[in-house]
Amino acid sequence: MKNIIITGSSSGFGLKAAKDFADKGYKVFATMRNPDGKNASTKAELERHSTNITVVDMDVTNDASVKEAIGGIIAAEGKVDVLINNAGVMYLGITEAFSIAQAKEQMEINYYGAIRTMQAVLPAMRAAKSGLIINCSSLVGQISPPFFSTYSATKHALEGYTQGLRYEVSPFGIDVAIVEPGPFGTGLLASGQTPAHGDVLTSYGELAKVPAAIGAHFAAFLQSDQAPKPQLVVDAYLALADMPAGKRPTRTVVGIAWGVDEMNATKQPIQDRVLKEMQLEGVLGGADA
């Protein structure tokens, strides 16, 4: 039985992925904060769904929490076959009005949190000469629309880290892949905060009202019948897990693309030329896809 760790399993893509991977016979470690507190009902829901699911208390923003949780899983199971970094938050608003502290909060979850979990599983994956890491990014990991900048920055950072790491761990039989969802009705919008600098908001006048209007428009659309279904993202996770090692694409766009699929098709061959330009093809030549 293959083992999978899924972060952010209390809602959205993570919650559905935990159930679907369990249904496919994986031993699922569904991580979340406060599973015996505010997320107790979600823990019970997952445990009722399948005996293949174990809910694990883990805070991706805390070094000790990640080391203890993932270290415990590896000690018990001896390996981790798949890690899905799904935890994330998104703040929408006037970019200048978000404080440094608010920008850091998003980075801690969306970027540093993913680094913590990857560094926790990679030694065991390298020892096993196999493994798959899927990092959930976003369309805005490649583009940066107005009012999404602090969130977009975290996803650009995650994509940059993932792209280089993919090359480095490929000789160990490990694949690292990025999934880039468009807008989906997962409650991500509700995870945001109001910008801290109220004086800046005031100085923007009527423009300061635009982000809230965008959020309301997206929220209405994402609850409509025309909106793409979150299951599409989970299906992308499942498809990547089923693919042969070494054959998985670097990036997979899911849902509304906003041209990012075209950007990826153009960008990846250029990115892969780095190996040739740096004369690393012989060392890392199996990493491009």
Catalytic residue among 16, 27, 43, 155: 155
Q: What is the pLDDT of residue 189?
A: 59
Q: Give domain status of residue 38, yes or no.
A: yes
Q: Give domain status of residue 70, yes or no.
A: yes
Q: What is the pLDDT of residue 185?
A: 64
Angle between helices 113-128 and 63-77 (to 10 degrees): 20
Q: What is the pLDDT of residue 225?
A: 72
Catalytic residue among 26, 91, 112, 151: 151
Q: What is the pLDDT of residue 271?
A: 87
Whole-angstrom distance, CA of residue 152 vs CA of residue 137: 9
What angle (nearest 5°) sits at the alpha carbon of residue 201, between those of residues 199 and 203? 70
Which CATH number belongs to the domain containing residue 280 in this structure? 3.40.50.720
pTM recorded for the entire structure? 0.92
Q: What is the pLDDT of residue 127?
A: 97
- Whether 50 is catalytic is no
Q: Give domain status of residue 289, yes or no.
A: no
129 conformational bin, left if phi > 0, alpha if psi -120 to 50, beta if neither: left
* The residue type at 68: E
- Whether 155 is catalytic is yes
Whole-angstrom distance, CA of residue 82 vs CA of residue 232: 19
Q: What is the pLDDT of residue 214?
A: 84
Q: What is the CA radius of gyration of the chain?
A: 19
- Enclosing domain of residue 180: 3-284
**Coil, helix or strand at residue 247:** coil
* Bridge partners, 175 (sequence order): 132
- Tens digit of pLDDT at every position of the chain (289 positions): 999 999 999 998 999 999 999 999 999 999 999 999 999 999 999 999 999 999 999 999 999 999 999 999 999 999 999 999 998 888 999 999 999 999 999 999 999 999 999 999 999 999 999 999 999 999 999 999 999 999 999 999 999 999 999 999 999 999 999 999 988 765 665 667 889 999 998 999 999 988 888 888 777 776 777 777 889 999 999 999 999 999 999 999 998 889 999 999 998 889 888 888 888 877 765 444 4
Q: Give domain status of residue 242, yes or no.
A: yes
Task: State how many domains the chain has.
Answer: 1
- Whether 10 is catalytic is yes
- Whether 152 is catalytic is no
Is-contact 202 98, C-beta < 8 A? no
Catalytic residue among 50, 137, 138, 149: 137
Q: What is the pLDDT of residue 177?
A: 97
Nearest to 149 by CA among 181, 195, 117: 195
Q: What is the pLDDT of residue 67?
A: 97
Q: What is the pLDDT of residue 191?
A: 64
